[in-house]
Structure 1
């Protein structure tokens, strides 16, 4: 302070998460046919751009996910999702 008395303080930063958004993509075809789509992602804040150089993956880091009774989803590095349904799947 102005008198030379030492003082201590604590700085606690507040972090505001940046959350990107996505637009769902749907497709329609005959039962059992492979389908593809590419969701559109928008950055949550232009100051924190999305990393388009990192290949797209599912939340667990994999590129393929099979859902029993439904089918198999595969995501390409550019974000395109391919769905191969089980023969009996409708939905």
Structure 2
């Protein structure tokens, strides 16, 4: 039978090795997720900037405004028409 000190050394070595391998794999996975999130955020920012810069998709601030408001006032105020 393996003596107890050697068994404890093997258990500790496996635990430490497992910790470092798990940390390395987790770090790699999180880096991939961060990179993907940054790419998605960059694409969304580019799309939003393109929508804001496109004059054909922007709303017309003068939509619904009369071209000459004096014509309407003249019709209302002139009793002879």
TM bucket normalised to smaller: under 0.3
Higher Cα Rg, which structure: 2
Report which structure shows greater RCO (CA 8 Å, sep ≥6): 1
Structure whose residues are more often strand by fraction: 1
**Bigger share in helix:** 2
